[in-house]
Amino acid sequence: MQIGDLSRNAGVNVETIRYYERAGVLPVPARQGNGRRIYGEADVRRLGFIRHARDLGFDLQSIRTLLALQEQPEASCTDASRIAQAQLDEVERRLSKLQSLRAELSRMVDECQKGVVAECRVIEALNTSPF
């Protein structure tokens, strides 16, 4: 199949496919005599794996490692577990930060009297930087 077919089958933009090839998480494909890339079902599956991992927030280095581990079915999954735990820890950190942001924004909105800007609690709160 050609790159457009791979794009449709995997639900990934053509430029994303090229980027993943340059980044080394998708192998450089064989080419036809006219220079067009040729892909197979294994590329669709690999791209699906990459896309799902990206949706879960894994960075490309982690994905490279996970892909390499996938090729060793008898190996220990300790590294895969460690990578997933690190990602979970990062998600928890972001959730905590988002909850703090939500509380602060909620406080700002609740305190707003919707009067004039000179007395606006939202503007006032933004002017008092915590940094």
The verdict on residue 50 lying in a domain is yes
Q: With respect to residue 87, please indicate whether it lies within any of the assigned structural domains.
A: no
Structural domain count of the chain: 1
Q: What is the pTM of this model?
A: 0.77
Per-position pLDDT tens, the chain of length 131: 999 999 999 999 999 999 999 999 999 898 988 989 899 999 999 999 999 999 999 999 999 999 999 999 898 999 999 999 999 999 999 999 999 999 988 988 888 777 777 777 788 777 876 65
Nearest to 106 by CA among 92, 121, 91: 121
Q: What's the domain range around 33?
A: 3-75
| String of DSSP letters for 6-38 | HHHHHT--HHHHHHHHHHTSSPPPEE-TTS-EE
CATH number, domain of 34, equals 1.10.1660.10
Residue 27 in any domain: the answer is yes
